[in-house]
Amino acid sequence: MTDAQTIVPEFVITRRFAASRERVWDAWTKPEQFATWFGPKGVTTTLLTFDLRPGGMIHARMDNHEHGSAIWGKLALREVTEPSRLVWEHSFADAEANIIPAPFFDVWPLRLLTTVTFEEAGDGTSVTVTWVPLDATLAEQQAFAGQMSSMTMGWGGSFDQLDEVLAG
């Protein structure tokens, strides 16, 4: 029998894009493209740092004009394998890129291991994003597991925006 505490929840979402793997890779790895689609619908993303290399960092401010609020995110890059894989630690941050607790959850993991894969799929590209909580308490893992539908909606919105960028 498996101990429930040893099962770390995993979020996975896949989308097929009608663009070449090179074009999709560029949308993820070129700052001028990344800023146009990355983040929830309705936010404007401003890149403060875009150092795309293992040990590098992406630090961004996301402004929600409807609510007049801003949040910052930090992606600490672990792996950049062109054109097939990106791996980073995903966190909420402050304006100076210090990791902070999630601004809209009382309980949430401080860091999520993010793995993004890019696979050729006929005349398009299949992108899979996987999120796993890192060093999370049981309560943080449970909070993460309880937000799967919200994460699907969030990434779905980002992917809709990426579709628009790739179509343009």
Query: Does residue 92 contact residue 102 with C-beta atoms inside 8 Å?
Result: yes
Kindly report the CATH number assigned to the domain that includes residue 34. 3.30.530.20
**Model pLDDT for residues 93-140, shown as the tens digit of each residue:** 999 999 999 998 999 999 999 999 999 999 999 999 999 999 999 999
Number of independent structural domains in the chain: 1
What pTM does this model have? Answer: 0.93
Choose among 67, 13, 27: nearest CA to 44: 67
Report the alpha-carbon distance of residue 132 to residue 151 in Å, rounded: 12
Other beta carbons within 10 Å of 8: 15
User: For residue 155, what are the domain limits?
Assistant: 4-167
**Model pLDDT for residues 124-137, shown as the tens digit of each residue:** 999 999 999 999 99
Instruction: Please check the confidence at residue 162 and state whether its pLDDT lies above 70.
Output: yes
Instruction: Please check the confidence at residue 6 and state whether its pLDDT lies above 70.
Output: no
